[in-house]
Homo-oligomer: A and B are copies of this chain.
């Protein structure tokens, strides 16, 4: 056996000599893109071997990889076999991951000690006899002192476990509650989920080692009931059965992911003894089945902000009978536990100097750490960067144009997985606006300029044709319209105004920001220079930016792995000063300036 470590995802797996790196990746739950299933046809599963012994380059790889690929050390994971027993370190470039995973689950991880809230105790028992008629629970030896709370469904596992495993069991506890009687030597697992308004990210974690053993992403099934948060809250307020339907939808989605990650690790979902879920305040309420009438109407107050522990089984999750679901505290308003988790994952509160962390989504949450003082706000950036309200917008899936450059007098494009283009995902939309602005086909105020052969229409109905119909995957042209540009202006204006107001609140200038931490699926793929060029972010040197991926999901994992993170979350909740933007005296002003497509709209 040898160990294979996948970077930068940070997953490790035992493998045998002769296994391919693709097989190892699949066992480790690393969703390497491999459309052909490892047959050496698609050429998708490109990786770099940073360390360790593998088979040399073979003719299949020489055929499928370009000279540039070969020069940069790329290999096909399906063709590369493990040799010997030494540690192998594999680098997985982002575009070798399947689309769902790529967009929703990966993120930068800061090492953390493994100290989960659950504890395991290896217990044994004497079998009963006519001279020993004690109950099974009473005959368990080595039970740690104290009063244990064992619910009936958990207790029900004890007789079968003891009798099936030589009168031994591994008792898993959370504080004074017994969560499960596992078979002996069985690893307790945790399930961390980031419940986004649009996407879900799930992680299965070994709670003894902290290693992620399964990972999966999916669309939030609540999408069917409304694309944005307010639409879903309105449904609950209008229809008495709405809350229960939305709760069922999200629980169903999470169970699907649970089964998926457990299948990756070849374990039963009932092995999961702890659950952490993070989401914005609305997702939090809809997941827990908390009433949302008061959250959906002014002055928009949640049922609860404090951290919640509740029975995961009672919620409907297919985990261990006694497992609890933990949801970290909500910050305020719609700024929920997902932002809290992101702040923990990025260690924002512990950074020196001035750090601004933001998580871009339908709502963008922003926190400023101004030399130890923390300010947060939420700004309604809208779903434009998730592809909604954009004529040819789409989610980051195969065929989405994700990158655009100005080449030979027109927009040149790249799609996800090199599929035929069908639309624009968030980073493509942002690129289109900034490149057209740079080419002066769009003005600072968002008007489109006629004269270019690809620009069609008049006034407010003008559009730029990016891909003609004959080249697309669906036979319709992919375009960006003037109203799409205006949507982007509103989105980026909201984000920039939020940043500006927080910085002002701290008595600083934007230029004082030492570090900008950009989280979120979209935030991870955008072209920072473009984002600065159109004024979404302040004009800081690019090296001050850090794109950290799904930090909320990573933070959820940290809350699972280390109980102190939960204490830190409680402390952090008390330290954050929340600024409500909807009634902030300067918001309208700042926002109307920030929609200008310029790096520094305040000077205009």
Contacts and interface: CB of A to CB of B under 8 A. Distances in A.
A152 B308 contact: yes
Contact of A128 (B128, B288, B301, B306): B301
Interface string A288-319: 11110110001111111110111101110000
Contacts of A293: 159
Contact of A155 (B150, B299, B303, B333): B303
Interface stretch (A135-143, A189-197, A224-232): A135-143
A69 interface: no
Interface in A313-350: 313-315, 330, 332-333
Interface in A105-144: 128-130, 132-139
Interface residues of A, number: 50
A580 interface: yes
A321 to B, nearest CB: 9
Given A128-B299, A163-B294, A305 B156 contact: no
B130 A299 contact: yes
Contact of A314 (B132, B150, B160, B314): B314
Interface in A254-301: 288-291, 293-294, 298-301
Contacts of A304: 135-138, 150, 155, 158
B136 A289 contact: no
Interface in A551-604: 578, 580, 583
Given A128-B294, A291-B160, A294-B159, A301 B153 contact: no
A135 B305 contact: yes
A132 B305 CA distance: 13
A373 interface: no
Contact of A151 (B149, B152, B311): B311
Contact of A311 (B137, B159, B308, B311): B311
Which 5 interchain pairs have the tightest Cβ spacing?
A152-B288, A135-B305, A137-B304, A152-B310, A135-B302
Given A136-B294, A152-B314, A314-B314, 7 more contacts: A137-B306, A152-B290, A152-B308, A156-B291, A156-B303, A159-B290, A163-B294
